[in-house]
Amino acid sequence: MIPKYSFLKVIDTSGARVAQVIGFYGHQGGYASIGDVVKVVVKETRGEKTPEGSMRKAVIVEQKYPFHRKNGSYVQYTRNAAALLSEKGQPIGSRIKSLLSVEFVKPRWAKLRSISKRLF
């Protein structure tokens, strides 16, 4: 449940550290959840790969608010985190430092899964 202007920790190796959500893709306003693609502004970086102030797409990978799974369980993480994507929707980084959830089993996220460890 991530609203506009909230800060997300960037957990891939794209160089960015903190990104701020400025818009949503796929639906208007309200909140974004795990697996949603959002438009972000990179607020803090380490290195030259993604300059500060640049706008990118990102996919939300972790969320503090418990999200509901169809088997009835609720899952929550300790932080709100995202992985940066290119304009086409492919991840920029080479590794993801997180335990991805089963929401990323879709073929759309095949590349994202390949750079992560395992799905939970």
Partner 1 sequence: MRVEKCWFCSSSIYPGHGITFVRNDATVFRFCRGKCHKNFKMKRNPRKVKWTKAYRKLAGKELAEDATFEMEKRRNRPEKYDRELVGKTLKAIEKISEIRQKRQDRYYEKRMQKAKKQQLQADKVQLEKEVHLIKAPAGIRAEKEKLKEPVRQADTSKDAMEE
Query: If DSSP codes are grouped into helix, strand and coil, which group holds residue 21?
Result: strand
Total residues in contact with partner 1, by rule CB under 8 A: 16
Residue 74 binds partner 1 (CB under 8 A):
yes
Residue 77 binds partner 1 (CB under 8 A):
yes
Q: Which position among 54, 76, 86, 90 is part of the footprint of partner 1 (CB under 8 A)?
A: 76
Residue 68 binds partner 1 (CB under 8 A):
no
Residue 98 binds partner 1 (CB under 8 A):
yes
The footprint of partner 1 on residues 2-61 (CB under 8 A) is none
For residues 16 and 40, give the distance between their C-alpha atoms in angstroms, rounded to a whole number: 11
Distances (CA, A) of 40 to 43, 68, 120: 9, 24, 25
Q: What are phi and psi of 101, to 5 degrees?
A: -95, 170
For residues 86 and 114, give the distance between their C-alpha atoms in angstroms, rounded to a whole number: 16
Residues in touch with partner 1 (CB under 8 A): 62, 66, 71-79, 98-99, 101, 117, 120
